[in-house]
Structure 1
Amino acid sequence: MSSLNQALSVALDRRQSLLAELHAQGTDCYRLFHGSQEGASGLTVDRYGPQLLVQSFHTRLERDALIDLQATVQARLERALLLVYNDRSGSNSRIDRQDSVYQAEDAALQDLVGHEGGLNYRVRGRHAGQDPLLFLDLRNARQWVRQHSAGKRVLNLFAYTCGVGLSAAAGGASEVCNLDFAEGNLAVGRENGALNPQLPPMQFIQSDYFPAIRQMAGLPVTARRAQKLPDYPRLQARQFDLVLLDPPAWAKSAFGTVDLLRDYQSLLKPALLSTAEDGVLICCNNLARVSMDDWREQVLRCASKAGRPVREWQVIQPAEDFPSMDHQPPLKTLVLQF
């Protein structure tokens, strides 16, 4: 047995009880192998419903190793899975068309459906973006939202494909508003909504974060230095009972810069002001180099300065399929209660 298959087998052993629990909950989307923590840095193996998504970020996985990996997973789960391998270790190397095992079967690249907590989510092995359409490490946060959203007005910021919004709708939210800059992301969010026709409809706003959230917070919309103010949707100032702030690590527009390392405060302050007085703000930071303790203190200090001191806070850890040997997972999630 190769060292990779040994590491994979150990990882699957560790997940035995978790997978049984997830399957009982109607979930078939989860991480099977978290290489950076389980013996193969830069390699991830995820299940998305009928699909097995393997991705390498440092070194391309050789053909035989990929075939062995698929066989090991299928034997353990006792089911066939459609293999998609994305090599992301170099520029333009995601898809190697020289060998059929890298190309993936046509069936594996179709629009598929995965499940989380009985909800249906769109799955595509390859699409216009790089990342999967559902971030698995945020599953526990989505579950928290579902359990605490009954009757709440929910704002999902940097909504991506609107998984949090879908969870809020399933939890009985009175209103769900998903905000994202990319229409392609929101289009998948609309697909997710259509895949769950039993849920009430969600709202979708395509906009740069800064003008949208600043209008909601009752703040003036400004442009970055020497930038002309582009067009943007006009929104009313208002507050929500539950707000989720899950920004990317870095992005720049004419309205401002998203920078989780140097300037989380610029993102946080208007989100705080858009949260109702007795509401909840869930904020995320996915930078591995930022420690939870330092970031939490920064967040609490910013809230106090903004006149919104936090009454209680709690941490949502990623589930066991995202192990962290130093107990400092890259994704950090704080629930702030006012």
Structure 2
Amino acid sequence: MNELIGQLQKNIRSLQSREDSGRIFHGRGKSLPGFEDLTIEYLSGVLLVILFGERPNEWLHTFASKTKESLSEFADIDVVFQARYLKSAPVINALGEPVKIEKIISENKLSYQLDLGGSQNFGFFTDMVNGRRWVTEHSHNKRVLNLFSYTCSFSVAAMAAGAQKVVNIDMSSAALSVGRKNHQLNHQALDSVVFQKLNILKSWGRIKKFGPYDLVIVDPPSFQKGSFSFSRDYRKIVSRLADMTSTGADVLFCLNDPLVTVDEFKQILESDQFEFISRIENPKVMKEVQQNLGLKVLLYRKLSC
């Protein structure tokens, strides 16, 4: 446990400030034996320990106490746990009591709404920080399509960089509502932002009418019952995008399925219309023993006709 807490200290210090957010431990990468069942997020003063396997209440209490003591330099940090091994994925404190936290968090000077205890996903994926940074660096004056936009963090990053227009597409009206608030939190003009509640695989005609697009982000769940399956549906997206993107358009294809390798993902994305450019590197904290697995964010570019 002491080695784990030492890593947390180091990784929090690497953030821009105590008000920033980011992943500070990635157990699934198997870099620290005995903690493969943990992912730990630092969320602007809240330490969220995501448990993929059950641990005794005594461990929770000891971890919270030692962590708060070791991280006292960062003032009063709240330590909470999310039990992902349970169907409802409840968020609890070190005493096992359910908690609910709503607050505004920040990343790279942009603000996002956080909701802990409302559902499994709390409104923000810290592992995508390098993808958002890339989008910030390449969105100026671009028409941006954000597929599976969730709460629109990629679009917020694009608008902050001076995108001409962003189009957010998601099946969840609740997620899009939070996305609208995220744009507003960052004082972004909504007349340049489109929100569409759509089943992407059945709505290509409506999506196309807002294009052509110069930059596209595709960040689907690896599997969502009744709406998306990586093995069945990802290739369909690639073929459809060819008809609604400008020549030279950039596309970020994302996948967070730990069982699919980079090479297997590239096979799915193979197309006469797009060429592979590079893989966007994951945050250092997300080091994987098997680098070909883990989060994959691949940059492709539309070829000339």
The bucket for the TM-score relative to the shorter chain is 0.7 to 0.9
Distance 1:100 1:154, change over 3 A: same
Q: SS at 2:16's partner residue? A: helix
- Sort the Cα spacing of 1:57 and 1:268 in 2 relative to 1 into closer, same or farther, 3 A: same
Are the equivalent residues in 2 in contact too, given 1:150–1:171 (CA < 8 A)? yes
Deviation at 1:298, TM superposition (A): 3.1
**Which residue is equivalent to 1:44?**
39
Structure index of larger Rg: 1
Distance 1:58 1:204 in 2: 37
- 1:130-186 alpha-carbon deviations (Å, 9 max, x no partner): 122111111100110011000000010000110000000111101011110000111
1:293 equivalenced with 2:293 (yes/no): no
Match of 2:57 in 1: 63
Return the offset for 1:21. Answer: 4.4
Residues 214/332 of structure 1: CA separation in 2 closer, same or farther (3 Å cut): farther
1:180 lines up with 2:176 in the alignment: no
User: What's the counterpart of residue 88 of structure 1?
Assistant: 84
Q: Any idea what SS the aligned residue of 1:45 has?
A: strand
The root-mean-square deviation of aligned C-alpha atoms, in Å, is 2.3
Q: Which of 24, 28, 31 is the equivalent residue of 2:20? A: 28
8 A Cα contact 1:84 1:104, kept in partner: no
Following the alignment from structure 1 to structure 2, what is the Cα–Cα distance between the partners of residues 151 and 142? 16
Query: Which residue in 2 is equivalent to 1:277?
Result: 247
Provide the TM-score with structure 1 as the length reference: 0.80
Secondary structure at the counterpart of residue 101 of structure 1: coil
Structure 1 residues 100 and 279, CA gap change in structure 2 (3 angstroms): closer
1:102 is aligned, of 67, 78, 96, to 96
Unaligned segments of structure 2, at least 5 residues: none
Cα deviations by residue, 1:184-231 (Å, 9 ceiling, x for unpaired): 11111012112111x3322211111113334445xxxxxxxxxxxxxx
Q: Using the alignment, how far apart are the partners of 2:89 and 2:288 within structure 1?
A: 28
**What's the counterpart of residue 152 of structure 2?**
162
The CA distance in 1 between the partners of 2:62 and 2:94, in whole Å, is 15
Q: Which residue identity is paired with 1:29?
A: S
Measured in 1, the distance between the counterparts of 2:260 and 2:42 equals 28
Measured in 1, the distance between the counterparts of 2:101 and 2:89 equals 21
Query: Could you tell me whether the CA contact under 8 Å between 2:260 and 2:293 is conserved in 1?
Result: no
Summarize the Cα distance change of 1:92–1:323 in structure 2 as closer, same or farther, 3 Å threshold: same
**Cα pair distance change 1:142/1:95, threshold 3 Å:** closer
Structure number having the greater strand percentage = 2
Question: Are residues 1:314 and 2:278 paired?
Answer: yes
How many Å separate the matches in 2 of 1:21 and 1:83? 19
Amino acid at match of 2:241: A
Q: Which residue of 2 aligns with 1:137?
A: 127
Instruction: Report the Cα distance in structure 2 between the residues aligned to 1:72 and 1:180, rounded to whole angstroms.
Output: 41
Q: Report deviation, 1:125.
A: 1.3
Between stretches 271-280 and 207-216, larger displacement belongs to 207-216
Mapped to 2, the partners of 1:317 and 1:196 lie a distance apart of: 26
Which aligned runs of 4 or more in structure 1 are off by greater than 6 angstroms?
none
Q: Whole-Å Cα distance in 2 between the matches of residues 319 and 110 of structure 1?
A: 26
Contact 1:278 1:337 survives alignment (8 Å): yes
Using structure 2 for the length normalisation, give the TM-score.
Answer: 0.88
Q: Which amino acid aligns with 1:103?
A: E
Asked if 1:78 corresponds to 2:102, the answer is no
Mapped pair 1:150 → 2:140: yes
Aligned residue in 1 for 2:221:
248
The Cα of 1:32 is off from its aligned counterpart by 2.1
* Cα displacement string for residues 80-124 of structure 1 (whole angstroms, at most 9, x for unaligned residues): 22232221223346356xx8722256xxx3420111000011111
